[in-house]
């Protein structure tokens, strides 16, 4: 879908539908909604008086214009209570409105700039949120479905602005929103792919293609190179699969070469059966998405390159499968990570932290700082925070606060969990330097404490997206399946560092 800013009168748009809005409790609409109401002979005011339109958040009311306007339909979108109105409200209502109109077969849609009037929202940010919500909300993954969809797609969304002087500002918001939303949908595509279409080799190929298209540098390390580097933890996880592991390195160079590059590390388990410690069969199909952190990093690098951000960023994605083959890692085995630390493997299903251990060691070898890792790491984080919040832990409070703020700007909720020294006790091993799981209690925290052994004193934040990478139901611009979580947070963080 193409999103454009046009100058004009919303009441005179020759499109399939026009979207206006209403805050909860407003009895006499003003602004663009008031102009549309007047063109419709007071129809909106009458429906408010009759209680059919209340303005509640995500409320959608369809009005047929019956020749009173150039458009055939007007959609009144409820914005909710004005004191609770946010940029995410705009994303939400635009996703709902666009999906509603797609079902009606509408091809061209016009909308006002929601929230830029009495809502008090910055016009550029409002245009960005409109674009993000629309593109994210209309996402579909139909690559492997042969049946034609019942409804076509919306081809064009027009953001209508009467004030010509604001057009350039709105266009900047649209551009930013498009880059962020399309990058997120790119990650969703990768995550939604079945594991037989997204092997470690396929993931490396995607990264190489992104690098070619967006002017990035990409290197893929093979098994022998990993062995020479001493990546015993990553190779230990990989040994049960016939698919060769790949260690993907993506560089974006837009800043001062004298400054260390921001390091983004993404878990790339293209399928996780749990290995010898095999998972229950229920919902194991979702483990094709255990590479969501890696997908988020690749997509974020794509967006950062599109923004031409004045910063250096390196993405590291250790990619492998975790399967119970004849050569698979066994409970009780001891591995040696790249930094020489030995690890007792007490549970082969705690494999994500093993491959991230070597990736974090490599990040430190490259001198990357600060570091953010993104991983579908623990069921414990899913239990603690559900599917609403991503968990954040790290060794630098100031940095964690910046990551959380970057998430807030994108509508991605992040909640910090503690990383107290006392939790390290649970990771102690009797036969090695450390073991790969600290037991049932505080599982998300002890997993992060494990990673802290490898990030060491480099400023570092760990994002556990185990509960947020996948949605079992549709919620506004979050569709069933892959969410693409963390892409926009990573990009916002990088842009704020420039």
Pair 2, 156: CB distance under 8 Å: yes
Structure tokens belonging to residue 207: 């990264």
> Could you give the CA distance from residue 379 to residue 284 in angstroms, rounded to a whole number?
13
Q: Which 3 state secondary structure label does DSSP give 157? A: strand
Q: Enumerate residues 6+ apart whose C-beta is below 8 A from 5.
A: 127, 158, 159, 161, 167, 170, 171, 174
Structure tokens belonging to residue 83: 């004191």
Residue identified by tokens 């004005």 is 82
Q: Please report how many Cα atoms fall inside a 13 Å half-sphere around the Cα of residue 223, on the Cβ side.
A: 13
Q: Is 167 exposed, middle or buried (0-12, 13-18, 19+ CB in 10 A)?
A: middle
Catalytic (active site) residue 279: yes
> Could you give the CA distance from residue 199 to residue 205 in angstroms, rounded to a whole number?
10
Q: Which of 73, 353, 402, 435 is catalytic?
A: 353
Structure tokens belonging to residue 346: 């007490």
The CA-based angle 109-192-200, given to 5 degrees, is 135
Dihedral Cα 384, 129, 474, 382, nearest 10 deg: -10
Structure tokens belonging to residue 155: 């081809």
Q: Which 3 state secondary structure label does DSSP give 172? A: helix
Find the radius of gyration of the CA atoms of the chain: 24
Q: Which of 12, 279, 330, 405 is catalytic?
A: 279
Q: Enumerate residues 6+ apart whose C-beta is below 8 A from 139.
A: 185, 188, 479
State the DSSP H helix or E strand holding residue 75, giving kind and residue range, or none if neither: strand 73-80
Tell whether omega for the bond before 370 is within 30 degrees of 0, i.e. cis: yes
DSSP 262-311: EEEEE-EEEEE--TTSPPPSTTGGGGGGTTHHHHHHHHHHHHHHHHT-SS
Catalytic (active site) residue 223: no
Count CB atoms within 10 A of the CB of residue 39: 21
Residues with a catalytic annotation lie at 279, 353
């Amino acid at each position: 879908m193409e999103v454009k800013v046009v100058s004009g009168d919303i009441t005179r748009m020759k499109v399939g539908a026009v979207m206006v809005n209403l805050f909860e409790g407003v009895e006499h609409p003003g602004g663009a909604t008031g102009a549309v109401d007047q063109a419709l002979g007071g129809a909106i005011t009458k429906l408010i008086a009759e209680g059919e339109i209340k303005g509640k958040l995500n409320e959608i009311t369809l009005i047929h214009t019956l020749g009173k306007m150039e458009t055939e339909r007007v959609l009144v979108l409820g914005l909710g209570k004005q004191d609770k109105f946010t940029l995410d409200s705009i994303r939400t209502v635009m996703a709902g409105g666009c999906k509603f109109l797609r079902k009606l077969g509408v091809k061209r849609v016009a909308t006002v700039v929601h929230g830029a009037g009495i809502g008090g929202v910055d016009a550029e940010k409002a245009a960005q949120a409109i674009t993000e919500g629309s593109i994210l909300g209309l996402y579909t993954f139909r690559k492997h479905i042969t049946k034609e969809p019942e409804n076509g797609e919306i081809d064009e969304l027009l953001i209508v602005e009467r004030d010509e002087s604001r057009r350039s500002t709105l266009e900047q918001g649209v551009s930013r929103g498009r880059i962020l939303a399309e990058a997120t949908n790119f990650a969703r595509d990768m995550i939604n792919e079945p594991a037989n279409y997204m092997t470690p080799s396929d993931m490396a190929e995607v990264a190489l293609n992104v690098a070619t298209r967006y002017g990035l540098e990409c290197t893929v390390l093979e098994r022998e190179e990993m062995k020479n580097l001493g990546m015993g933890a990553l190779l230990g996880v990989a040994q049960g699969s016939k698919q060769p592991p790949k260690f993907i390195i993506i560089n974006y160079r837009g800043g001062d070469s004298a400054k260390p590059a921001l390091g983004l590390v993404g878990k790339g388990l293209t399928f996780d059966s749990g290995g010898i410690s095999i998972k229950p069969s229920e919902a194991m199909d979702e483990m094709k998405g255990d590479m969501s952190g890696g997908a988020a990093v690749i997509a974020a690098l794509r967006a950062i390159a599109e923004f031409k951000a004045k910063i250096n960023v390196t993405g590291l994605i250790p990619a492998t499968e975790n399967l119970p083959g004849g050569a698979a890692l066994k409970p009780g085995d001891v591995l040696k990570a790249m930094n020489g630390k030995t690890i007792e493997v007490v549970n082969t299903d705690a494999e994500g932290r093993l491959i991230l251990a070597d990736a974090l060691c490599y990040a430190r070898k490259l001198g990357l700082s600060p570091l953010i890792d993104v991983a579908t790491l623990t069921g414990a984080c899913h239990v603690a925070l559900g599917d609403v919040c991503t968990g954040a832990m790290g060794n630098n409070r100031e940095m964690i606060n910046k990551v959380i703020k970057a998430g807030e700007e994108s509508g991605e909720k992040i909640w910090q969990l503690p990383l107290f020294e006392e939790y390290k006790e649970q990771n102690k091993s009797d036969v090695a330097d450390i073991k790969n799981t600290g037991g049932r209690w505080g599982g998300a925290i002890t997993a992060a404490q494990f990673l802290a052994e490898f990030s060491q004193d480099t400023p570092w934040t760990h994002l556990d997206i185990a509960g947020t990478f996948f949605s079992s139901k549709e919620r506004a611009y979050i569709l069933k399946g892959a969410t693409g979580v963390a892409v926009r947070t990573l990009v916002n963080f990088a842009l704020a560092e420039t």
